[in-house]
């Protein structure tokens, strides 16, 4: 029971830190998902408004002409990791 409590608190702490981390990395201007094989779901690309992509990105491509626009291959299969821009 004690071990379960520790794991539960750890997961809660991870959730809060992730939320704060995301807010520090801006938002998506465009989210484009390309269908892949059904087993793998979709691969989503996020046009980021920040200088660099979120650390969770598998692949981050930034335009040389505009360092504030980065394209992020998202690790979430069905949607973009960052929230949409308002």
Q: Domains, the chain, ranges and CATH?
A: 2-73 (2.10.69)
User: What CA–CA distance (Å, rounded) separates 24 from 22?
Assistant: 5
**6-31 mean pLDDT:** 46
Residue 69 or 80, more confident? 80
Tell me what pLDDT residue 60 has.
72
0.85 cut: is pTM over it?
Answer: no
Q: What is the full DSSP assignment across 33-86?
A: EEE--TTT-EEEEEEESSSS--TT-SEEEE-SS-TT-EEEE-SSSSS-SSPBP-
Could you report the per-residue pLDDT of 22-77, keeping only the tens digit for each?
Answer: 343 456 677 777 665 555 556 666 665 555 666 666 677 776 665 556 666 655 55
Predicted pLDDT of residue 59? 72
């Amino acid at each position: 029971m004690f071990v379960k409590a520790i794991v539960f608190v750890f997961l809660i702490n991870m959730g809060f830190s992730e939320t704060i981390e995301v807010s520090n990395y801006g938002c998506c201007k465009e989210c484009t998902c390309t269908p892949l094989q059904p087993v793998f779901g979709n691969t989503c690309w996020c046009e980021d408004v920040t200088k660099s992509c979120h650390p969770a990105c598998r692949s981050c491509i930034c335009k040389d002409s505009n360092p504030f626009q980065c394209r992020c291959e998202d690790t979430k299969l069905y949607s973009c990791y960052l929230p949409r821009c308002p």
